[in-house]
Amino acid sequence: MDGFQPLRVAMIGTGYVGLSTGTVLAYLGHRVTGVDKDKSKTDLLRAGRSPIREHGMEELLELSKGHIVFTQDTSKAVAEADVILIAVGTPSKDNGEADTQYVEAAAEEVAQSLLPGRSYVIVVKSTVPIGTNRRVIYVINRVMGERGLSRSTPVHIVSNPEFLREGMALYDTLYPDRIVIGAEDPEGVAAMQRLYRPILEQTFNAPSFLARPSGYGLPPMITTDPTSAEMIKYASNAFLSLKISFINEIAGLCEKVGADVSEISRGIGLDKRIGPHFLKAGLGWGGSCFPKDTAALLAIGKEYGYEMPIVAAARQVNHEQRHRMVEKLQQALKGVRGRVIGVLGLAFKPGTDDVRESPALDMIRILVDRGAHVRAHDPAAVSNAKQALEELDVEFASNPYDVSLDAEGLVLATDWPEYVTLDLERLAQSMKTPVLLDGRNMLDRGKVEAAGFLYMGVGK
């Protein structure tokens, strides 16, 4: 690669963000050390296996072999690095606030490990409340002061939020819409330019399993102050989640007036100012980011005495959407108590085994609460769902056709592509009453009805 200068990178945390980013950086030619306290994770990774289900991860790890190692030892990885990225978790506290204790602990440990006489760039990649960057600077300066290294070891702090979708994390890292850098000094910006140069200039060979999208240009790098960078991350996720909640609210009205929300999405999405993405009506949004980040944004607002009614409404609509779907089923079946309800899909979206804040699981909880017996299937997420629903009496099936057996209602809760090709007649015939709630508007009403089902979609 023309003029490419590899950097030594320490990635603190090999969760979703850390592992995806670290593996891509290694693939680009940097020398990466992934650090994780969890030995089971580092053991798996050393064996070339991915602890998360992510498209292309094991293949890219294989291609990056020799450029990436994994360890539990922060100090060695940090001491030898040029750039240290902090990508540890920021779980929600009870009040919605993102808990930064792991970020602070990582910053402290990093500062303890820096060698005198060298300069370092420390990057906060975790999604953190506004102002955390300042807090990280404070922690690092404090430790450096205690160690008497404040002058001899210049440290540049950068905020570099990520915008990765689960299942598409490697793709989104290689072909981002933009790279956001929040830095107070030019050294930090320069290091980030060097780190991401192969992406900014698209000079790397695209892996066959992560092909460069046709028409993809060069991604812009936005440089701003750290506080704005932190805000860009929250505002992005909040905006995307409110786009979905908006279309779900419109879907509710479509049902009242006899309009079809898919047509509305198409019609408004063609307006370039609105755009076609994130306008799919359904059971609503879940996952590890939207619920947590919108809650964190509200908590930040509250801290400043500032109300954010739009974000709050997006969350409320999303919460109610699950209830609305159960109501629909309840009306069609004249009550769900004592009935067997089949649920297809448990993951919060297709392509993942992640069930965090999954709309499917929330719906199951409501159904069970109302006295239904739920039998569920998912191509990947059964094991995680079993754990999450431990306290509930839910049956799990390894085959979608077992779910429908003698059921009185069937809910399609996650839009896994394999559900589109199900034998609808076989499903309908095995049910006691063939009622189908397509919670993701993914099936063709005509075909479903021809198979003998009573079909209900969302906003149709």
In this chain, which stretch among 161-169, 254-262, 326-334, 375-383 interacts with ligand UDX, using CB under 6 A? 161-169
Which one of 33-41, 56-64, 287-295, 364-372 is the stretch in contact with ligand UDX (CB under 6 A)? Answer: 287-295
d(CA 127, CA 349): 21
Q: Which of 96, 176, 207, 286 binds ligand UDX (CB under 6 A)?
A: 286
Task: Between 247 and 394, name the residue whose CB sits nearer to ligand UDX.
Answer: 247
Residues between 18 and 37 with contacts to ligand UDX, criterion CB under 6 A: none
Q: Which residue is nearest to ligand UDX (CB)?
A: 289
* 207 DSSP 8-state letter: P
Question: Which range binds ligand UDX by CB under 6 A, 42-50, 96-104, 107-115, 159-167?
Answer: 159-167
Question: Considering the complex, what minimum distance in angstroms separates the CB of residue 56 from ligand UDX?
Answer: 15
- Rounded Cα distance between 412 and 304, Å, is 41
Rg of the chain's alpha carbons, rounded to an integer?
24
Closest CA to 89 of 168, 162, 24: 162
Site residues for ligand UDX, window 240-269 (CB under 6 A)?
Answer: 240, 244
Determine if 287 is a binding residue for ligand UDX (CB under 6 A). Answer: yes
Q: How far is CA 313 from CA 238, 298, 316, 318, 320, in A?
A: 11, 11, 5, 8, 10
State the sign of the Cα–Cα–Cα–Cα dihedral 211, 215, 218, 220: negative
125 lines the binding site for ligand UDX (CB under 6 A): no
Judged by CB, which is closer to ligand UDX: 70, or 290?
290
Strands 179-183 and 221-224: parallel
**Binding of ligand UDX at residue 347 (CB under 6 A)?**
no
Amino acid identity, position 179: I
In the three-class reduction of DSSP (H, G, I as helix; E, B as strand; rest coil), residue 193 is classed as helix
Q: How far apart are CA 24 and CA 9, in angstroms?
A: 12
> Should residue 378 be labelled a site residue for ligand UDX when binding is judged by CB under 6 A?
no
- Asked if 237 interacts with ligand UDX (CB under 6 A), we say yes
Q: Does 9 bind ligand UDX (CB under 6 A)?
A: no
Which one of the spans 203-211, 283-291, 300-308, 378-386 is the region binding ligand UDX (CB under 6 A)? 283-291
- According to the binding rule CB under 6 A, does residue 163 interact with ligand UDX? yes
For ligand UDX, the closer CB: 18 or 286: 286
For residue 396, state whether it binds ligand UDX (rule: CB under 6 A): no
In angstroms, give the least distance from the CB of 416 to ligand UDX.
11
3-class secondary structure, 188: helix
Query: Which of residues 36 and 362 has its CB atom nearest to ligand UDX in the complex?
Result: 362
The answer to the question of residue 285 lying near ligand UDX (CB under 6 A) is yes
Whole-angstrom distance, CA of residue 425 vs CA of residue 422: 9
Q: Within positions 417 to 446, which residues make up the interface with ligand UDX, using CB under 6 A? A: none
Q: Does 416 bind ligand UDX (CB under 6 A)?
A: no
For residues 294 and 386, give the distance between their C-alpha atoms in angstroms, rounded to a whole number. 27
**Bridge partners of 31?**
8
3-class state of residue 273 by DSSP: coil
Asked if 166 touches ligand UDX (CB under 6 A), the answer is yes
Q: Which residues are catalytic?
A: 289
Binding region for ligand UDX (CB under 6 A) = 162-166, 237, 240, 244, 278-280, 282, 284-287, 289-290, 348-349
